[in-house]
């Protein structure tokens, strides 16, 4: 019996390592890899890449604003001369409650897209290697730093590139998960109520369920439940101000997350009326 | 009758302490009494007249390790306590969670690390952590000699677990203490604290 268990464990271990070799670099509680949407680079055309995390159940990485703890993954690129890597394009985050705190991030399988630009100088016929050192923190109740040296080699070809069948579904899901620009006709405004912000979105339709993820840390208390009220042709949210926000802000930027979609929001903040705002200077 | 008014006073005090729950820069820091790793009680108000630093701590957290394994935190503790600052390390990890220690374990750790805070406060109920709204390890607070909170935030401006980032980072705690001690206003009174979540009891 013991031998059977040992064999089963051995096989499980082997499967795991084969899995890791084929599909990304092992990191604590998951794997990470650089993937490309296309099979080749066409000079002058943007190339879409993705940083693909696959995490064990219960483990997460972080959004650009990680919330109350953690930090987002970072990439340090080593690219052939001339090429430029754009910033990560962040899919809408999930709320990750760790009472009494609240983090923002991603669990399970997530692809963080980014673009490689300025490919005009690449000579057709060559193969280029895109390499990056990745740093992240992988957390459940506890956090473990993760580092990986990632690379991806692609041929440069004059003709229009073919897409990889293997990654097509990943990139299409990633596109869907990206917050969309504020639609034409929407109007986003905010009001400083003293201890909270009132964010009003006129969207042309009633929205019954949504929450707001702020791009900047320390603007709102992440863990305080957001009170929402459906209004005629829109939604209104009350966001409790962070205790650490000492100065008035002029804009509230972030992502409005709906059950099936997400939108970038940039709302001007009307200052508090009546009493003068509290002085921020501290001696 | 006497007993009745004492009750009223107790209720008023309880209500006040609930109102003053949040620690907010520019306002009086909430008072507390907590027990250190040697069983000694420390009351914040008894340190009036001195600067007090509160440092939230979890010895298993990679961000805490960054500052202890590099010797950065120990250096700060020595530098500022020598200048008369009261430095209180606070451990709010609940029993059974990462970073929870008994007094003896904490004393062993401090000896091993050459740590030099004034004291290490044990807060397994998380009461002190909740009172200050401590979110991460580390999370730093500074209270001035008048008992006013003058800093709430990160230890420095490089939110990573990498020791290599320490030499090039700006230490917000040292900056705030230097500024406040020379009579200037604190230029960065808040920042996003970075690190592991404090392991509170659920």
Q: Which residue of A has its CA nearest to B184?
A: A283
Domain membership flag for residue B4: no
Looking at the structure of chain B, the number of domains it has is 1
Retrieve residue B150's tokens.
């003058």
For A67-99, give the secondary structure using H, E and C.
Answer: ECCCCCCEEEEECCCCCEECCCCCCCCEEEEEC
Q: List chain A domain ranges.
A: 22-177, 187-270
For the residues of chain A, what is the DSSP string, one character each? -HHHHHHHHHHHHHHHHHHHHHSSEEETTEEEEEEESBSSBPTTS-EEEEEEEEE-TT-EEEEEEEETS----EEEEE--TT-EEPPP-PPPPEEEEETTEEEEEEESEEEEEEEEE--TTPPTT-EEEEEEEEEEEEESSSEEEEEEEEEEEEEB-SSPPPBPHHHHHHHHHHHHHSPBPPPTT-EEEEEE-SSEEEEEEE-SS-----EEEESSTTSB-TTSPPEEEEETTEEEEEEEBPTT--S--SEEEEEEEPSS-EEEEEEEEEPPPSSPPPP----
Per-residue confidence (pLDDT) for residue B202, from 0 to 100: 72
Domain membership flag for residue B103: yes
Query: Which domain does B110 fall in, by range?
Result: 22-197
How many other β-carbons are positioned within 10 Å of the β-carbon of residue B48? 14
Would an 8 Å CB–CB cutoff place B95 in contact with chain A? no
Contact in structure between B56 and B73 (CB atoms under 8 Å): no
Per-residue confidence (pLDDT) for residue B2, from 0 to 100: 43
CA–CA–CA angle B68, B72, B74 (5° rounding): 70
Q: Which residue of A has its CA nearest to B189?
A: A282
Domain A22-177 matches domain A187-270 at the CATH topology level? yes
Interatomic CA distance for residues B107 and A36, integer angstroms: 52
Interatomic CA distance for residues B52 and B41, integer angstroms: 15
Q: What is the ipTM of this complex?
A: 0.84
Q: Which residues contact B159 (CB under 8 A, 6 or more apart)?
A: A71, B192, B194, B195
Task: Give the pLDDT of chain A (283 residues) as one tens digit per residue.
Answer: 344 444 343 333 333 333 333 579 999 999 999 999 999 999 999 999 999 999 999 999 999 999 999 999 999 999 999 899 999 999 999 999 998 999 999 999 999 999 999 899 999 999 999 999 999 999 998 999 999 999 999 999 999 999 999 899 999 999 999 999 999 999 999 999 999 999 999 999 989 899 999 999 999 999 999 999 989 899 999 999 999 999 999 999 999 999 999 999 999 999 987 655 444 444 3
Q: Hey, are the CB atoms on B194 and A71 less than 8 Å from each other?
A: yes
Q: Hey, are the CB atoms on B26 and A280 less than 8 Å from each other?
A: yes
Q: Hey, are the CB atoms on A142 and B98 less than 8 Å from each other?
A: yes
For the A187-270 domain, the top CATH level (class) is mainly beta
Domain membership flag for residue B16: no
- Looking at the complex, report in whole angstroms how far the Cα of residue A217 sits from the nearest Cα belonging to chain B: 7
Interatomic CA distance for residues A56 and A193, integer angstroms: 42
CA–CA–CA angle A90, A94, A145 (5° rounding): 70
Domain membership flag for residue B92: yes
Q: Which residue of A has its CA nearest to B99?
A: A142
Dihedral, CA of residue B154, residue B158, residue B161 and residue B163, to nearest 10: -110
- Give the one of B60, B192, B196 whose C-beta lies nearest to A217's C-beta: B192
Per-residue confidence (pLDDT) for residue A281, from 0 to 100: 41
Q: Which residue of A has its CA nearest to B158?
A: A71
Contacts of A247 in chain B (CB under 8 A): none
Contacts of B26 in chain A (CB under 8 A): 246, 278-280, 282
Divide the 202 residues of chain B into consecutive groups of 10 and give the mean pLDDT of each group. 44 41 89 98 98 98 98 98 98 97 98 98 97 97 98 97 97 98 97 96 81
Q: What CATH superfamily is the domain A22-177?
A: Thiol:disulfide interchange protein DsbD, N-terminal domain (2.60.40.1250)
Domain membership flag for residue B162: yes
Retrieve residue A3's tokens.
């031998």
> What three-state secondary structure class fits B165?
helix
Contacts of A283 in chain B (CB under 8 A): 150, 180, 185-186
Residues pairing with A154 in the sheet:
A128
Domain membership flag for residue B202: no
The number of C-beta contacts closer than 8 angstroms across A and B is 81
Domain membership flag for residue B171: yes
The CATH number that applies at residue B62 is: 3.40.30.10
Contacts of A99 in chain B (CB under 8 A): 200, 202
- Give the one of B133, B148, B162 whose C-beta lies nearest to A243's C-beta: B133
To probe the interface with B, which of A138, A147, A244, A277 has the most B CB atoms within 10 Å? Answer: A244
């Amino acid at each position: 019996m013991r031998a059977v268990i040992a064999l089963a464990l051995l096989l499980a271990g082997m499967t795991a390592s084969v899995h890791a070799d084929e599909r990304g670099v092992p990191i604590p509680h998951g794997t990470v890899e650089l993937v490309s949407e296309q099979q080749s680079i066409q000079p002058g055309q943007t190339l879409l890449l993705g940083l693909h995390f696959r995490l064990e159940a219960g483990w997460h990485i972080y959004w650009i604003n990680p919330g109350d703890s953690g930090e987002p993954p970072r990439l340090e690129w080593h690219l052939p001369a001339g090429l430029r890597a754009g910033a990560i394009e962040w899919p809408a985050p999930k709320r990750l409650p760790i009472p009494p705190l609240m983090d923002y991030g991603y669990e399970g399988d997530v692809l963080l897209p980014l673009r490689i630009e300025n490919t005009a100088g690449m000579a057709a016929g060559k193969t280029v290697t895109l390499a990056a050192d990745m740093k992240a923190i992988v957390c459940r109740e506890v956090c473990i730093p993760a580092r990986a040296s990632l690379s991806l080699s692609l041929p440069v070809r004059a003709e229009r590139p073919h897409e990889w069948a293997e990654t097509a579904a990943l990139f299409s899901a990633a596109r869907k998960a990206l917050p969309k620009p504020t639609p034409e006709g929407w109007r986003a405004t905010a009001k400083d109520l003293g201890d909270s912000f009132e964010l009003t979105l006129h969207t042309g339709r009633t929205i019954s369920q949504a929450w707001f993820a702020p791009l900047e840390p320390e603007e709102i208390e992440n863990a305080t439940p957001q009170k929402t009220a459906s209004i005629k042709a829109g939604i209104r949210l009350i966001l409790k101000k962070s205790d650490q926000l000492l100065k008035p802000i002029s804009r509230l930027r972030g992502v409005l997350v709906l059950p099936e979609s997400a939108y970038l929001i940039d709302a001007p903040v009307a200052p508090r009326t009546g009493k003068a705002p509290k002085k921020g200077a501290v001696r | 009758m006497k007993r009745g008014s004492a009750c009223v006073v107790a209720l008023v005090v309880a209500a006040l302490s609930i109102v003053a729950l949040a620690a907010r820069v520019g306002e009086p820091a909430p008072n507390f009494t907590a027990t250190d790793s040697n069983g000694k009680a420390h009351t914040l108000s008894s340190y009036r007249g001195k600067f007090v630093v509160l440092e939230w701590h979890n010895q298993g957290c990679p961000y805490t390790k960054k500052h202890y394994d590099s010797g950065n935190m120990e250096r700060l503790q020595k530098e500022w306590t020598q200048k008369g600052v009261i430095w209180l390390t606070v451990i709010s990890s609940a029993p059974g969670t990462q970073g929870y220690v008994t007094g003896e374990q904490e004393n062993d750790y401090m000896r091993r690390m050459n740590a030099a805070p004034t004291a290490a406060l044990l807060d397994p109920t998380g009461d002190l952590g909740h009172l200050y709204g401590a979110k991460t390890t580390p999370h730093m607070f500074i209270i001035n000699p008048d008992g006013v909170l003058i800093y709430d935030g990160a230890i420095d401006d490089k939110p990573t677990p990498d020791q290599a980032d320490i030499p090039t980072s700006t230490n917000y705690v040292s900056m705030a203490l230097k500024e406040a001690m020379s009579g200037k206003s604190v230029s960065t009174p808040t920042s996003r604290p970075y690190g592991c979540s404090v392991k509170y009891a659920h």
